[in-house]
Amino acid sequence: MRGTVASLAAAALAARGVSAGRMIDGRLAARAADNTTYDYIVIGSGPGGGPLACDLARAGYTTLLLEAGDDQGDNPIYSELGNFNIAGNDPDSRWDFWVRHSDDDAREKAFAHYTWRTANGSFYVGTTPPAGATPLGIQYPRAGTLGGCAMHNGGVCSLAQDSDWDIVVNMTGDTSWEASKMRQYLVKVEKNTYLPANTTGHGFDGWLSTAVQPARWAHDSSLPATRVLKKLAELTGQNASDVASLVNKDILGIEPHKDTRNSFYNMAQHEDKGGKRSSPNNYIKATLKDPRNFPLTVRLHSLATRVLFDTDTKNKANASVPVATGVEVMSGASLYGADPRHASATKTAPRSRFWARREVIVSGGAFNSPQILKLSGIGPAAELAKFKIPVVKDLPGVGERLADNYEGSLLALGQQPVGGGVITLMFKTPNAAGPDRNIFTWCGAFSFEGFWPGFPTDYGPNEYECAMVHIGPHSQAGTVRLASADPQVPPDINFNFFLNNGTEDLQHLADAANLLRTAWQAAGAPVLPFAEKHPCPGTGAGNCTDAAERALLKTQAYSHHASSSCAIGAASDPLAVLDSKFRVRGVQGLRVVDASAFPRVPGAFPVLPTIMLSAKAAEDIIADAKKAVHKK
């Protein structure tokens, strides 16, 4: 039936002179489709918007997908998942957001990888800049390319905690968000490559490939890494004699008490068996190439500047309700100021307008979605007035409650390599309140200390690290504020790390580091002693206090999982931006579908939960469209 609907829609498009399934490079066809009307316009092709646009087109609705970047899908830097650090540094897709972690300038500039622009235009990274250098901030790279940040990330797939889904039920009363119901969207999107077909709770026919790496090394008890693994099992209440099987546990599996049990896992990633990245880029390309001619149009190099509204529409109570009717777009390469190739001359790029007969969906991510809403007149009235932006709807919560996982690491150099492979562990620290685990860690012979131009530092074959992600941080006080009414100027972003309950969260990270450090001592000779670089520099197993660890983690914590800046919330919440169906409150025909919609950060890694959220949004939007047809 779906194919029949799509074919009919494609025929209707052809009759109007509009082709189905095409990709337009904005540089070459800047005004080729100006004033065209689509059923839906989706702004942003990342894990939220890309799959959503495909699902809408596959359901037979004419859909325009706007992407400000280009297509790097065939570039091995992106298509080979193992190149993710190179991809994160690549100026062909990199958008440099320079963020703050607090309002304290001294604390900001104590960040070891604080970045400056020198007088000759190059970057300086560190705490003692040369004379004449201009402070930029802490780098937070995003990906301006078809597929969004799923094209430069490490591909780690983990699920949200059940409470992250259930919080929407508790806020809004919408039971479709219950955790038990949300798994259907994993089944829908997943193409599992590492389990027997038809394993309960997994999908095998979706568009997103998931794979794991073999962990045969854990059978070798002579390896220092295996000794560390066994000690970690002991410290977290697992069977040390069974670690070889425990490390192959399915991290996406169905199990009782999945959010409360300390457990090793085999890290899943969105890639195929050959290590090729699987992302929205692949799904978009497959939709465009499908012989069923789904009515999807993709415009690259197309920077959405604002959503257009009809402000004369009346609701049933005869009150005016703004209705989103289209999008204004600038066409050209490197238009956005965060692009390192951006030049001021691009301000003269041509502008086009496209129209939506049904809805506009904003999927720009946690930084750009609130920016687009505000530029369109949706946001805090006082902030809009500051930039002389006419208020369409006063929504104080737009750009507020920005959240993120805290990330840190225990990094040291051994006397010899530790060997082995990656250890993936989720556990609860001793002083954490509530039943759920609060730390996701992965340990191995690598180095990762956050983001800066040229990251990471390679310390050689003896490096060993346990990277840590703090799940469920207590502080959610970040902000995304306009810096200008110019859509090419990135917003001001302040995460306000540790502003609320900061000591508690920092102690969780310190407790995790202490447990991991204790396990490391099991590596034995000839690896020991470890020369720890951070958070406790030196060679002793306990050579610094918790207070010293907390102080260092406070200045050196980093992040890469921004969410919640346009969050779903209760109707009674003045800072709620969306209802449970992703609709922007107080207007019609406008939704936000990306990680900014989550009321809090979903688990440890948001990419898979965001893809699941996108699949749910598609279902909700299509259901609403069918209801509207039925009413007519």
Q: Which residues are catalytic?
A: 561
Place of tokens 């699949």: 615
Which residue in this structure is represented by tokens 């060679």?
539
Residue 247 neighbours by CB under 8 Å, 6+ apart: 215, 218, 229, 264, 265, 266, 423, 424
Distance CA 235, CA 218 (A): 17
Quote the CA–CA distance of 515 and 444 in Å, as a whole number.
Answer: 16
Burial of 152 (0-12, 13-18, 19+ CB in 10 A): buried
Q: How far apart are CA 34 and CA 302, in angstroms?
A: 12
Residues whose CB falls within 8 Å of the CB of residue 128, separated by 6 or more in sequence, listed in order: none
With the C-alpha atoms ordered 282, 283, 285, 291, is the resulting torsion angle positive or negative?
Answer: positive
Burial of 343 (0-12, 13-18, 19+ CB in 10 A): exposed
Please give the backbone phi and psi of residue 197, each rounded to the nearest 5 degrees, phi first: -55, 145
Q: What residue type is assigned to position 601 of the chain?
A: V
Q: How far lies 593's CA from each of 50, 393, 414, 614, 621, in Å?
A: 10, 19, 45, 6, 11
Spatial contact of 161 and 603, defined as CB atoms under 8 Å apart: yes
**Residue 60's CB: how many other CB atoms inside 10 A?**
24
CA torsion sign for 582, 561, 377, 37 is negative
Contacts of 540 (CB under 8 A, 6+ apart): none
Residues 6+ apart with CB under 8 A from 253: 201, 202
**Tokens encoding 48:** 């939220």
Indicate the burial class of 351 (C-beta count within 10 angstroms; 0-12, 13-18, 19 or more).
Answer: middle
- Is residue 538 helix, strand or coil? strand
Question: Which whole-number Å values give the CA distances from 582 to 175, 306, 561, 629, in the listed order?
Answer: 14, 18, 20, 20
Interatomic CA distance for residues 554 and 549, integer angstroms: 8
Unique residue bearing structure tokens 């497959």: 286
Distance, in Å, from the CA atom of 392 to the CA atom of 346, rounded to the nearest integer, reads: 28
* Closest by CA position to 188, among listed 335, 55, 297: 55
Measured CA distances, 446 to 111, 275, 397, 420, 421 (Å): 21, 18, 39, 12, 10
| Whether 591 contacts 362, CB under 8 Å | yes
CA dihedral 505, 506, 508, 513 (to 10 degrees): 150
Residue 415 to residue 49: CA distance in whole angstroms:
48
Q: Which residues pair with 324 in a beta bridge?
A: 309
